[in-house]
Amino acid sequence: MEHRRNAGLETWLMYIFLIGSTIAVLYPIFMMLMSGFKTNAEIFGAPFSLPKSLNLDNYKTIWTTTDVPRYLLNSAIVTIISVALLLVTGTMAAYAISRYKFRGAIMVSMFFLAGLMLPLRLAIIPLFVQMKSMGLVDNLLGLIFIYTAMSLPSTVFILSGFLRALPGELEDSARVDGASELRIMVEIMVPLITPALVIAGIYNAVPIWNDFFFPLIFIQTPENRTLAQGLTTFFGEYSVNFGVLYAGLTLAALPIVVVFIIQSRRFIAGMTAGAIK
Partner 1 sequence: MAKVELRGVNKQFGSVHVIKDINLTVEDHEFVVFVGPSGCGKSTLLRLIAGLEEITSGEIDIDGARVDHLAPARRGVAMVFQSYALYPHFTVAQNMGYALRVAKEDKAVIDRKVREAAEILQLTEYLDRKPKALSGGQRQRVAIGRAIVRDPKVFLFDEPLSNLDAKLRVQMRIELTRLHRELNATMIYVTHDQVEAMTMADKIVVLRDGRVEQIGAPLDLYNTPDNRFVAGFIGSPAMNFFAGRAESVSDAGVEVALEGGTRFTFPCETPGVKAGDVVEFGVRPEHFSIGGNGDGGSDGALKGEVYAVERLGGETYLYLNSGSYRDIVAHMSGDAPISIGDSVEIGFSLARSHLFGPDGQSIR
Give whichever of 121 and 175 is closer to partner 1, judged by the CB atom: 175
- Binding to partner 1 (CB under 8 A): which residues in 206-265? none
User: Min. distance of Cβ 133 from partner 1 in angstroms?
Assistant: 45
Q: Tell me how far, at minimum, the Cβ of 181 lies from partner 1, in Å.
A: 11
Stretch that binds partner 1, among 29-37, 184-192, 212-220, 245-253 (CB under 8 A): 184-192
Alpha-carbon distance of 46 to 42, in angstroms, equals 6
Selected from 10, 57, 172, 223, the binder of partner 1 by CB under 8 A is 172
Q: Report the 3 state secondary structure along 1-29.
A: CHHHHHHHHHHHHHHHHHHHHHHHHHHHH
Q: Which is nearer to partner 1, 177 or 223 (CB)?
A: 177
Count the neighbouring beta carbons within 10 Å of the beta carbon of residue 47.
12
> Minimum CB separation from partner 1 for residue 173, in Å?
4
Options 10-18, 172-180, 224-232, 249-257: segment touching partner 1 (CB under 8 A): 172-180
Q: Does 276 bind partner 1 (CB under 8 A)?
A: no
- Inter-CA distances, 256 with 75, 83, 85, 131, 215, Å: 11, 13, 18, 28, 19
Instruction: Give the range of 54-62, 114-122, 175-183, 269-277 binding partner 1 by CB under 8 A.
Output: 175-183
Nearer to partner 1, 2 or 169 (CB): 169
Cα–Cα dist 71/225, whole Å: 6
Q: How far is CA 144 from CA 120, 209, 241, 260, 265, in A?
A: 15, 11, 33, 21, 28
The reply to whether 159 sits near partner 1 by the rule CB under 8 A is no
**CB proximity list for 66: less than 8 A, separation 6 or greater:** 234, 237, 248
Residues that contact partner 1, how many (by CB under 8 A): 15
Q: Does residue 181 touch partner 1 according to CB under 8 A?
A: no
Helix (H, G, I), strand (E, B) or coil at 166: coil
Residue 130 CA, distance from chain mean position: 26
Contact letters (x/-) for partner 1, 36-55, by CB under 8 A? --------------------
173 binds partner 1 (CB under 8 A): yes
Q: Footprint of partner 1 on residues 72-131 (CB under 8 A)?
A: none
Which of 166, 189, 206, 196 lies closest to 270, judged by CA? 196
Backbone angles phi, psi at 92, to 5 degrees: -65, -45
Q: Which of 143, 146, 174, 199 is close enough to bind partner 1 by CB under 8 A?
A: 174
Binding residues for partner 1, per CB under 8 A?
167, 169-170, 172-179, 183, 188, 191-192
